[in-house]
Amino acid sequence: MDKLYSLSAKSMKELLEKREVSSVEITKSVIERIEKTDKDVCAYNSYNFENALKNAEAVDAKRAKGETLGALAGIPLAVKDNIHVKGLKTTCSSKMLENFVAPFNATVTDKLNASDAIIVGKTTMDEFAMGSSGESSKLAVAKNPWDTSRIPGGSSSGSAVTVAASQVPFAMGTDTGGSIRMPAAYTGVLGLKPTYGTVSRYGIIPLASSFDQAGPMARNVDDLAMLFGAVCGRDTKDAVTKNYTFDGYGDSVKGMKIGVPKEYYGEGVQPAVKERVFEAIETLKAQGAEIIDISLPSTEYALAAYYIICCAEAASNLGRYDGLRYGFRGSNTSNVEDLYLTTRSEGFGDEVKRRIMLGTCVLSSGYSDAYYKRAKLLQQNLAAEFTEAFKSCDVIITPSIALTAWKFGEKAGNPAEVYAADICTITLNIAGLPGMSVPCGFDSSNNMPVGFQIIGKKFRESDILTVAKCYENAVGGFAVKEF
């Protein structure tokens, strides 16, 4: 059967269950596709092909014996390179961890293994998940399949690209301020940032622990939901996880109330992005949804609050990289102070250093009250505004990102402008809410994908997926780049 790699995970599952194809056949097709195309899109830091084929053989053997199989049995996928897979490198796309081999599995990895999924490799990312474009990686720098001269978005750049380039049907990413939803929007795929506490963070290299959340990326809603259902739920190794069970979703929005906050459609949002998002809203309205205007006034201050809290936590989390315990060791080892200095100067890239310095500053004496504590108060205010807004609507729709993908290097000298691109996504991480980016057409000026964001109440991923599925049905599915 030709082009097995291009099938949806749902179609792969159906063929496998009917025994019309084997997992080995699908996995070989996926590997061949990656080998053929990855030199152009650079989605991976490392491959796991040999183990993937062995695991596929094992799944086929279990199926032949009639043994019970997991929900993702025999289906290939990729995971972001900050998620531990025992025996494989976890680099975070940084020189600091370039040769670090994971000594244990993340809980997400254990759940994927328990579901009999086939992990084919580790995808590239912004260094230590710090970035919105994918450009800060110190290893492979992923390229947007729709135009390889343009950024794919970050930080889960490789996970988005491998899905968009039809290398795998779905992939795992992580999201601290939009790192799943932004690259999903830029590359024309779907990406879900679940409610904080639905997916374990154990075994995932942290950026900002109070914001971090792992989630799936896919080319259609059914595949996205399949992967999310496999990885969510309580984990005793992560105290913030809940006894959460994903209970499915529908395909009709009739009677649902959709909130549209004016603060997300103002200055800075490209006209083409607004047009496509409003078209998507009209499509849902035509399907029976009720559109309601709402306001989230604290959004104006969210960007500043996010970067204060995120950088403060990042500075704390990255303190462990000192050249003594593991990872890269600096060139000057004459004394401990010089070792620290050279390790961090040589091992971290510019974006990581920038955030460490900002985080250290806002936590220092004389500044923590003025900045960090005020940012935490804003976090409470924003969460309260969302709670109030959800009294009048079931979901909220905004742009996923204010602009479409720009060319590599175009914004290299203006990190503040890149940070500002996060404004539509960061509020969800601050409030701990679930959100999802859904493709909704293209910017006619450059033919790059546009995405809209669906925001839901806590632990109501089913509502988000219902809206996305209804929209997918209404538009007849999402465009796939012939790459």
**What is the pLDDT at residue 411?**
87
State whether residue 86 is helix, strand or coil: coil
Q: Give yes or no for residue 472 having a pLDDT over 90.
A: yes
Q: Is 132 marked active-site?
A: no
Indicate the residue type of 160. A
Q: How far apart are CA 318 and CA 311, in angstroms?
A: 10
Domain hosting residue 47, numbered range: 1-483
Is 102 within 8 Å of 147 (Cβ atoms)?
no
Range in 84-93, 136-145, 200-209, 419-428 with the lowest mean pLDDT: 419-428
**What is the pLDDT at residue 2?**
79
Q: What is the total count of domains within the chain?
A: 1
Instruction: Give the CATH number for residue 394.
Output: 3.90.1300.10
Residue 106 makes CB contacts below 8 A (sequence gap 6+) with 83, 84, 85, 200, 202, 203, 204
Catalytic residue, candidates 13, 23, 29, 80: 80
Q: How far apart are CA 410 and CA 81, in angstroms?
A: 26
- Residues found in the chain: 483
| β-strands 435-443, 190-193 pairing | antiparallel
Q: Give the DSSP H or E segment for 327.
A: none
Q: Give yes or no for residue 449 having a pLDDT over 80.
A: yes
Q: Give yes or no for residue 415 having a pLDDT over 90.
A: no
Q: Is 80 marked active-site?
A: yes
The strands making up 76-80's β-sheet, listed across from edge to edge, are 44-47, 118-123, 76-80, 170-175, 213-218, 190-193, 435-443, 448-456, 395-399, 257-261, 290-294
Catalytic residue, candidates 8, 29, 137, 155: 155
Q: What is the DSSP letter of 369?
A: I
Q: How far apart are CA 441 and CA 406, in angstroms?
A: 17
Q: Give the DSSP H or E segment for 180.
A: none
**What is the pLDDT at residue 71?**
98
| Tens-place pLDDT, residues 364-376 | 988 898 999 999 9
Closest CA to 398 of 430, 356, 426: 426
What is the value of pTM for the model shown?
Answer: 0.97
Rg (CA), the chain: 21
Q: Is 179 marked active-site?
A: yes
Q: Give yes or no for residue 413 having a pLDDT over 80.
A: no
Catalytic residue, candidates 8, 179, 400, 437: 179
Look up residue 476 and give its two tokens.
Answer: 């007849």
Q: How far apart are CA 304 and CA 475, in angstroms?
A: 37
| Tens-place pLDDT, residues 15-43 | 999 999 999 999 999 999 999 999 999 99
